[in-house]
Structure 1
C-alpha cells in the first residue's frame, strides 16, 4: 500500500504480521493467539513514503521483539492512528525571522508524527512510537523556568505552495501578529503540537489545528489561539485524531520567553 493512507482499521489472522515502513525504518506487528508482538526497526535516514506490507522484506530472525502484549485471546483487528508529539516542539528556522512592527505573517512548520495502534474492539493501547524520535531540548529563561521539549530545524515556509509534504509529518499553519511598535525577531519558536487536533486533506496529507499568536505592546504574556476553522485557501479537511492535551477554551497564555527565543 503506497497511497499515503497508512492509518485506519487493519485485520490480522493468527500468526500474521504487518509492517509500516519508511525506507529502512519499520514498525512491525504480529498477532498470535494470546499476544501481540512488536518490532521497532530504527534508521537515521528519513524516507519519503510510508509503505504498509506483510513485512517480509525485513529479516526478524536475529531481532528480539521490542514488546509483547498479552491477552487471554487476541481479536483480529487493530486501529492505527497518526498522533502528534507528546511534548511541544522547538522549531529552529534556518535563519532568524524578523516580523516588522505592526505586521503579520503566516508560517508553515512541519513536525514528525507518532505511530499509535490499539486493539479493536477494546481500545487497549499497543504502540505509541515516533517514526523518528526528535532530540530533547530545554526551552525557557532558566533551568527552572521552562519546559522539556523536542527540537528540530525547519525552513519555516511562508508560501503554502512551497511546502515539501511527507506522510510521516504533519504541518502546522501559524499566523504571527506583531502588534508592537518594535520588530520581532525569532530564532526559535515553541509550537504546542500536543494541544492540537490532527486532520487529513483530500491528498491524505496531514495538518494540525491552525495557531494564531499575537504579540501586544510590552506585555510579557502572549496570547496563543488554537483556531477551530481553517482559512479558505486550505483544502477541505477530515478529522483524524485528538490532541494529547485537551484545551477547554482553545486559548493558551504563554510568557513570551517561553514561546520565542
Structure 2
C-alpha cells in the first residue's frame, strides 16, 4: 500500500457542537480551519498547507485558541448558535483535467476512468442554519476549454493519473471522485490527453468511509462528424455501496452547456 492510501478519513461534513469560549481545529487535507464560539459571536480563521499530496487525513480536535498570526473573521449574533457544519461543494466551474500520459482507446472499446477534483468547503452554523462563507481547499489555475477562442468556456485546470481501478484511488478527504465512462463508437483509435468535468452540473455524495463521489458521467464518441453524446447518471459506480447526498448540483444541466463542456476533448 502506498503512502497516499494510508490517510485517515472521517465524515468531516457532520455537525460539531462547541461550548461557550471553546476553540476547535478541523483539518481537511491541506486546509486547516479554526473556530471559537463566544456568547454573541463566532470567530473563524483558516490556513492552507503548501506541500505535496501525501498522507492527507481528516483531523478534528479541540484547540487551545485561534492562531494569532492568522486573520480572524467575526460573525455577530444576539445569541450564538451552538454548532457548526462543514459541507463539501463542487467547484463553480468545470475542471479541465490533463492526463499525465495520453490515453488511447481502440475502436469499439470503452473504459471507466476515476478522476478526482478538489472541493470547496461551505462553512455554516446550525439551528438555525446560517451560511457564513465558502472556501476553496486547493487553488487551481484558470484555463480556456473549447474548439476556439470564441467557442468554449472558462474553466479550472488540473492533472490526473486517470486511474481505472477503485483499489488505486488514494484516500484524500478534500477531493471528490468522478467515474467517467468513455465509449469509442467510431472505427478509429481514440486518443485523449484532456477531459472537462462539468462539476457545476453534478451532485456530491459522501460515504461512510469518508470518501466523496460525484454523479458518474458517460461520454460516447462516434467520429469526426458527430457531436459527443453524454449522460449524467444518478447511480453510484459499480463496486460502491450506498452514499448520502450532501450537495445538489449548482446548476441544472443544459444540453448546449454540456456540449460546450465536452467540445475539444477528442482527437484522432
Other structure's SS at 1:151 match: strand
| 1:130-180 Cα deviation digits (max 9, x unpaired) | 222222222123333222211111100112222212112111101101111
* Structure 2: unaligned runs, 5 residues or longer: 1-7
* Structure 1: unaligned runs, 5 residues or longer: none
**Contact kept in structure 1, 2:140 and 2:158, CA below 8 Å:** yes
**Which of 100, 103, 113 matches 1:97?**
103
C-alpha separation between the residues in 2 aligned to 1:225 and 1:55? 45
**Which of 93, 114, 132 matches 2:120?**
114
| Alignment-derived partner of residue 230 in structure 2 | 224
**Contact kept in structure 1, 2:204 and 2:212, CA below 8 Å:** yes
Aligned residues: 257
TM-score normalised according to structure 2 size: 0.85
| Alignment-derived partner of residue 127 in structure 1 | 133
Other structure's SS at 1:247 match: coil
C-alpha separation between the residues in 2 aligned to 1:225 and 1:240? 21
C-alpha separation between the residues in 2 aligned to 1:206 and 1:23? 13
Other structure's SS at 2:104 match: strand
Note if 1:51 corresponds to 2:44. no
Other structure's SS at 1:96 match: strand
Note if 1:80 corresponds to 2:111. no
**CA deviation after TM superposition for structure 1 residue 225, in Å:** 1.0
**CA deviation after TM superposition for structure 1 residue 242, in Å:** 1.5
The farther-off stretch of 21-30 and 95-104 is 21-30
C-alpha separation between the residues in 2 aligned to 1:146 and 1:133? 22
RMSD over aligned CA atoms reads 2.5
Q: 1:255 to 1:134 in 2, by over 3 A?
A: closer
